[in-house]
Copies of this chain bind each other. A is one copy, B any other.
Amino acid sequence: MSNDRHDEGRRRFMTGLGALGLGAAAGGLGVLAAGATGAEAAAVEIPEGSWPYKPLDPMKARKLGHWGYYQSSCSFGVFNSIVTCLRDEVGFPYTVIPTRMMTYGEGGVAGWCSLCGALNGACAAINLACDKEKALCDELLKWYVQHPFPSKLSNDLAANHQFLVDKYKSDKVLPQSQTGSPLCHVTVTRWCKEHGYASGSKERSERCARISADVAAKTVELLNDYHAGKFASANDYTDTTKQCRACHKKGKDFDAGQWTRGKMDCGGCHIDGKIKVVGADHYPPS
């Protein structure tokens, strides 16, 4: 990349963030520290294992999560938020990570609506800063599936225009739903149907921006706790999941039902009376 292109990118980025009062604090779609190039850069030593950590500010992560959603959606929003906080507190090596690398997670991977992009971005950031990434990711997902979103705090910040974007898609206090699942498809559908919003509505977008804020802040809290030696699981799997997993879990006994695996809420898809079965008269559509 030429210096011109780099300077242009940096300028464009700084311009956007200058208006938000963040100065150099927030990361962008690229990584912008300038200096060593060529042979020096090629020989950079990146620490093995999880990277250094300093306590981060959950409110800063929350605001950057919301801001990042409006730059390049949920997955980038959360990943960029946490990596930016880490850059500001720790600096290198977080400065070498191009936060745009997680944009693919939008809409549960390119709109497939599998894993919630906010969770995907959060877990990738956890993995950089923690060597017990699976314990923290597990806790994050347990919390996510069983709490109402958007949180009251993010609702209040949005309604009072305390987030960092100039224009909200909506500044309403939005209704809450439990996501019930780490899957984008399930969380979006549940919220939209319960509250009468279309999936392409401004309110649904703003709901996901606030969830990006909530997930970024929670992730920082988990990382802070972990590095302070205070991490302990405060959430559990759903009752349905625990009951089903009495038999149906990863294991070696096929006949005992161990032909499956997973921790998602089984009742979301499998339990009679709860499943949204579509009748033959509805399919194919007329």
Residues of A at the B interface (CB closer than 8 Å) are: 1, 5-6, 9, 29-37, 40-49, 51, 91-93, 95-98, 100-115, 119-120, 123-124, 126-128, 133-135, 137-138, 141, 182-185, 188-189, 192-193, 196-201, 240, 243-244, 246-247, 249-254, 258-264, 269-273, 275-280, 283-285
Please tell me if the beta carbons of B261 and A272 are within 8 angstroms of each other in the complex. no
| Structural contact, B141 and A123, CB atoms closer than 8 A | no
Within the oligomer, what is the number of copies of this chain? 2
Determine whether the beta carbon of B127 is less than 8 Å from that of A110: no
Q: Which residues of B contact A189 (CB under 8 A)?
A: 259-261
Contact B275 A109, beta carbon cutoff 8 Å: no
- In the complex, what distance in Å separates the CA atom of A188 from the CA atom of B261? 7
A269's nearest neighbour on chain B, judged by CB, is B269
The answer for the CA separation of A259 and B187 in the assembled complex, in Å, is 11
Query: How far does the alpha carbon of A5 sit from the alpha carbon of B243 in the complex, in Å?
Result: 45
Please tell me if the beta carbons of A185 and B262 are within 8 angstroms of each other in the complex: yes
Partner of A47, one of B1, B252, B271, B284: B1
Instruction: Determine if A42 and B113 form an interchain contact, defined as CB atoms under 8 angstroms apart.
Output: no
Please name the residue on chain B nearest to A91 by beta carbon. B42
Closest to A28 in B: B48
Most central of A1, A30, A197, A280 by chain B CB within 10 Å: A1
Excluding A104-B124, A192-B260, 17 further A-B contacts by CB distance (< 8 Å) are A9-B49, A36-B44, A36-B45, A42-B92, A46-B97, A103-B127, A103-B134, A104-B126, A109-B120, A110-B123, A110-B135, A113-B262, A115-B120, A188-B261, A200-B252, A243-B283, A269-B275
